[in-house]
Amino acid sequence: MRIGELARATGTTARALRHYEQAGLLTSHRAANGYRVYDPEGSVARVRNIRQLLDVGLTLEDVQAFGPCLDGDVLAAGPSDGALRIARDRLAVLNARIAAQTAARDRLTAALTHAAGHAGADSGVLASPRAL
C-alpha cells in the first residue's frame, strides 16, 4: 500500500504519515521506484490507533509509549497502569494550560473593562494599538 492509499484509508494526510514514521510509530519499506510502501493490514490499524490516541489529547511522545499495543484495538483494551499514568499526566498538563489561559483571559477582560470606563482618556496599556 502506498502512502496516498494509506492516507485515504485512515482519513489522514501523507504528511502526517511521514511524521508518524519519523517519530518511529510507523514503518515502511521503499519500492524500487523509491516510493514508501506500507503493510496494508497492520498499518491501517496502527494509524487509526495513533489518531485515536492523539484525538483524546495525547502527544506523539505519549503515543510512543503505546508502541507495542498500536497494532491491536488500543481503546477497547483495558488500560494498563502505565497508560493511566500517561493519561493522568497529560490531563494535568492540559488543566494547567487551561488555567493559565483562563487567567490571561480574565486579565484581558479586566483591562478592557477598565479601558471602557476611561474611554477617550489615556488609559494606559490599552490606550493605543502600539501598546499591544
Structural domain boundaries in the chain: 1-77, 79-118
Say which residues have a Cβ less than 8 Å from residue 31's Cβ, sequence separation at least 6: 37
Taking only the tens place, the pLDDT of each residue in 12-49 is 999 999 999 999 999 999 999 999 999 988 999 999 99
Taking only the tens place, the pLDDT of each residue in 74-126 is 777 777 888 899 999 999 999 999 999 999 999 999 999 999 887 755 555 55
CATH 1.10.1660.10 fits 1-77, yes or no: yes
Say which residues have a Cβ less than 8 Å from residue 126's Cβ, sequence separation at least 6: 111, 112, 114, 115, 132
pLDDT value, residue 127: 56
What are the helix and strand counts (H, E) for the chain? 5, 2
Answer whether 63's CB lies under 8 Å from 25's CB.
yes
Sign of the CA dihedral with 110 first, then 114, 116, and 122 last: negative
Answer whether 91's CB lies under 8 Å from 57's CB.
yes
Please give the model's pTM, rounded to 2 decimal places. 0.76
Q: Which three cell numbers stand for residue 58?
A: 495525547
- The DSSP bridge partners found for residue 74 are none
CA–CA dist 81, 104 (Å, integer) = 35
Residue 2's SS3 state is strand
- The DSSP bridge partners found for residue 2 are 37
